[in-house]
Structure 1
């Protein structure tokens, strides 16, 4: 009985141990499967995270590249039309204006024969002018009249006022411009004989010459300013204005505006406004010269009308004063 019970207990224990072993294997297998699943899930999650990060980095790179491209386009198209060419042209324009203004005074002094304290025998100056006329400016009418033997390089150039406004700077044309201006200004005053300089008559002559030279200074300056502008500044002004109006370059500029950014269009508008101010400044300078010439004309007209009366009154006052001194 006891042996049977022992055997049964042993058999039951063996069965339980075997069953426990099987269950343990199942549990270990399940844990292994779960671990593998967790690992696979973690790997997939890591891969997904990596892909997400890579995608994010790619997007960030694309955004940065786009911003760089946009900035490059903005920088290029926001400087107005052909900025390098415009800058060069603007510098040349400014330099031409400075040079033209700087040379006017010296050209008045060296190229105009009368005025400015200059003395010369009118006959000698006429001979010199006639010599230049026959060398360069003879017309067919001069030839027909026997004054010249052949037509000159610039027929009638010494009386052609339109040449003053020509941009041509060739030697013959410049000589014609100077001849026109000298013919307008007139002949220089004859020098005073050495013995007359200290006399009352000589002093009156010098005083009268100074007044005449002052009158002539205004038209002389205006004519030389017009000549200097035409030779060294007008072509640049015409080019700058033509950049925006009425030329082939203006057509190119108009087409370029379609691809300009808003800032680029504004830059060009500012340049146009600046050019408009420069044109207005030039007009102001011309108006000031015109006003000065009109003031001289008014003074001359006043002298023509009232000058004799004024001089007669001054002479009477001087005579009366002298008589009073004698009676004393």
Structure 2
């Protein structure tokens, strides 16, 4: 069984009582009457001890309260500081996240702006020289659009125009000869004393001039017109009015229309070649073929191709797509021109075939008539 420990105050009183009791016993044993004095001393010491214990208790309790208050204040301060520190950490994290989000948004906006700049900049996003390329393509298309009208006018202006009859075939051929000696006198003719050597000798018989650029009113342009007339042959003379109503006259006119129809195909082809190489003042004195050559040189050879390929390396994806579209459009336009050229070639071959088979028609008709007469004679017999 556990003994209960005596309080401190009681243990002090018990020790003092034992001390006093021993003194009294000692005094009594020494023969002195000390009872009154001893009681007085005991009471005095007891009171003194009680006072000291009370003072100690009060002081101790007060100190404990002060220390407890200090501890509570310290804990409260530490708690407040921890709370403030935690809030500061939370705020710092939130601020950093907001800053990061703002930075990401700014980067995205910057990337979007940069992409828009690259996509729509005239150098990186619109293909090579967008305005210049559009103007050159339109100019080229207009130039070749005029070729047809100019060729048609050329075919209708010479003495071999479809359906045209001259007053005198001999006179027309004599005029051609005079024109030749006046403008295209060759060295042999000059040596023979027939004419004066020309600046363009034999130009009216030189097919190479058809493929060279020349101004409309130049000597080369006149040489090309004369060359086309020489190729088509001599013109047909007009019929007298009285002969036009005869069977022979009507047959002649029918053959004339057939001849004109056949000759109109090569006449138009030759005139179109000449028109495609005729320079125009509205196109900086360049012919349609020269304009076409400049457009092709932008992509194949020359300084234009170097500038074009150099800019391709700086283009964005959008610019490359636009440039590829422009090149595809130019290719389509060229294919259309080639398609028209193939049509003219087919027409010339068809006309050549019809002209070559003209003799066969007469032979076939004669053979058919002969066979018909033989069959009729056998039937009569």
Q: Is the contact made by 1:241 and 1:275 (CA closer than 8 Å) also made in structure 2? A: no
- Cα deviation, residue 227, structure 1: 1.9
For 1:260 and 1:17, the matched residues in 2 are separated by 88
Q: Is the contact made by 1:158 and 1:176 (CA closer than 8 Å) also made in structure 2? A: yes
Structure 2 residue 105 is matched with structure 1 residue 60: yes
Relative to the length of structure 2, the TM-score reads 0.68
* Residue in structure 1 matching 2:118, options 73, 79, 91: 73
List per-residue Cα deviations over 1:47-99 (Å, max 9, x = no partner). 44323322331232123212432443355546544444333332223222323
For 1:234 and 1:218, the matched residues in 2 are separated by 21
* Residue in structure 1 matching 2:158, options 112, 134, 144: 112
Structure 2 residue 258 is matched with structure 1 residue 203: no
Q: Show the counterpart of 2:88.
A: 43
Q: Show the counterpart of 2:340.
A: 285
Structure 2 residue 206 is matched with structure 1 residue 160: yes
List per-residue Cα deviations over 1:257-284 (Å, max 9, x = no partner). 4444566556555555554454444344
* Residue in structure 1 matching 2:184, options 90, 115, 137: 137
For 2:295 and 2:369, the matched residues in 1 are separated by 56
List per-residue Cα deviations over 1:210-260 (Å, max 9, x = no partner). 111112111111111222233353223323332322333233334444444
Is the alpha carbon distance of 1:275 and 1:315 closer, same or farther for their aligned partners in structure 2, counting shifts above 3 Å?
farther
* Residue in structure 1 matching 2:359, options 280, 300, 304: 304
Which deviates the most, 140-149 or 180-189? Answer: 140-149
Is the alpha carbon distance of 1:297 and 1:206 closer, same or farther for their aligned partners in structure 2, counting shifts above 3 Å?
same
Gaps of 5+ in 1: 318-328
Q: Is the contact made by 1:185 and 1:220 (CA closer than 8 Å) also made in structure 2? A: yes
Q: Show the counterpart of 1:326.
A: none
For 1:135 and 1:10, the matched residues in 2 are separated by 156
- Cα deviation, residue 182, structure 1: 1.6
* Residue in structure 1 matching 2:303, options 235, 248, 269: 248
Gaps of 5+ in 2: 1-42, 279-286, 373-381
For 1:91 and 1:115, the matched residues in 2 are separated by 32
Secondary structure at the residue paired with 1:20?
Answer: helix
Which deviates the most, 232-241 or 52-61? Answer: 232-241
Which deviates the most, 182-191 or 205-214? Answer: 182-191
Which deviates the most, 281-290 or 16-25? Answer: 16-25
Instruction: Provide the alpha-carbon RMSD of the alignment.
Output: 3.7
Which deviates the most, 129-138 or 203-212? Answer: 129-138
Q: Show the counterpart of 1:216.
A: 263
Aligned residues: 315
